[in-house]
């Protein structure tokens, strides 16, 4: 797994190497500060990280690890509903990689032996329906879709009802990322959530927000807006391999207090990997510190 995370953080690790060409046993705080800032950790958060380190000018790996890990300690919502299908509503702005991520997520479930159905509730854009339908055909996964402009809530209802009738395991529902104005988007998403609950009590079981990794910390305000509209349960970061802003995940975790469940590390259908904070931190620290076993 660290190999996949390392692939996703490749550009970020290159930035670290530019700041720190040679690994060290202890790092001085000024250099660490520069590394964090260049990796798109906000300055205020960098100052906080430095503050919680020991008072010495140079610090050890274990000290840095302790502070960095603290940003991924938060309460996660229990997924108590084990009845089928497990319904996930996927939200996010257009261009964040939402539709492709849905396909990757469906592919992951399929590889686990689960039976999946897709719901094309982004009826605002014909291209979104076509793209998701194309992925469904490629992955040989059923899809419920309609024409552009039709009621997205009806698609969500039909998708959940169909999956329930066929005793499928998972339903993943796409949604529009941008309408004429924020009010329309808000009202539509709220309606879809209500209709999901009518189709299956307690649905959607998880509302997943897709954030574009190349936007770095600027995605936080976007995330807060969606969270205010419908309440977000989990986050997927896309395009992590295409940016040197890998440090932004610390700020996203701190500000949103929501679990990052997957990260996109490539364009292939298998390039959506489970996010593990320990592995993420380990990969970053491995590029900075000489390990005790002598391997650099």
62-104, pLDDT tens digit by residue?
999 999 999 998 766 655 667 899 999 999 988 899 999 999 9
Which residues of the chain, if any, have pLDDT below 70? Answer: 1-4, 75-81, 179-181, 292-296
pLDDT of residue 296: 40
User: Can you give the pLDDT at residue 76?
Assistant: 64
Q: How far apart are CA 226 and CA 37, in angstroms?
A: 27
Q: What is the pLDDT of residue 293?
A: 57
Distance CA 222, CA 143 (A): 28
Taking the alpha carbons at both ends of the chain, their separation in whole angstroms is 20
Q: How many CB atoms lie within 10 A of CB 191?
A: 14
Domain ranges in the chain are: 2-74+280-286, 86-275
As assigned by CATH, the class of the 2-74+280-286 domain is: mainly alpha
Query: What is the per-residue pLDDT across 285-295, written as a single tens digit (0 to 9) for each?
Result: 999 999 865 44
Tokens linked to 163: 């999956």
CA distance 192 to 188: 6
pLDDT at 80: 64
Q: Do domains 2-74+280-286 and 86-275 have the same CATH topology?
A: no
CA dihedral 19, 23, 26, 30 (to 10 degrees): 0
Whether the model clears a pTM of 0.85, i.e. scores above it, the answer is yes
- At the top level of CATH, the class of 86-275 is alpha beta
């Amino acid at each position: 797994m660290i190999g996949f995370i390392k692939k996703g953080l490749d550009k970020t690790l290159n930035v670290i190497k530019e700041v720190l060409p040679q690994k060290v046993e202890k790092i001085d705080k000024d250099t660490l500060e520069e590394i964090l800032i260049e990796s798109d950790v906000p300055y205020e958060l960098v100052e906080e990280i430095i503050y919680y380190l020991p008072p010495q000018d140079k610090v050890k790996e274990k000290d840095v690890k302790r502070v960095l890990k603290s940003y991924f300690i938060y309460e996660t919502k229990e997924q108590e509903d084990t009845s089928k299908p497990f319904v996930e509503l996927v939200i996010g702005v257009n261009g964040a990689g939402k539709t492709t991520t849905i396909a990757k997520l469906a592919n992951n479930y399929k590889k686990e032996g689960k039976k999946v159905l897709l719901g094309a509730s982004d009826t605002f854009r014909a291209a979104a329906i076509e793209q998701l339908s194309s992925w469904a055909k490629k992955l040989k996964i059923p899809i419920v879709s309609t024409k552009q402009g039709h009621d997205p809530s009806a698609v969500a209802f039909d998708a959940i009802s169909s999956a329930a009738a066929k005793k499928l395991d998972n339903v993943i529902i796409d949604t529009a990322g941008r309408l004429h104005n924020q009010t329309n988007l808000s009202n539509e998403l709220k309606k879809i959530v209500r209709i999901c609950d009518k189709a299956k009590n307690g649905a959607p079981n998880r509302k997943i927000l897709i954030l574009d990794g190349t936007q770095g910390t600027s995605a936080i305000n976007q995330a807060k807006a969606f969270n205010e509209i419908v309440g977000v349960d989990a986050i997927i970061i896309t395009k992590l391999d295409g940016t040197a802003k890998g440090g932004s995940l610390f700020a996203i975790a701190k500000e949103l207090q929501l679990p990052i469940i997957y990260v996109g590390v490539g364009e292939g259908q298998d390039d959506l990997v489970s996010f593990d904070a320990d592995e993420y931190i380990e990969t970053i620290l491995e590029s900075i510190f000489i390990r005790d076993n002598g391997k650099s």
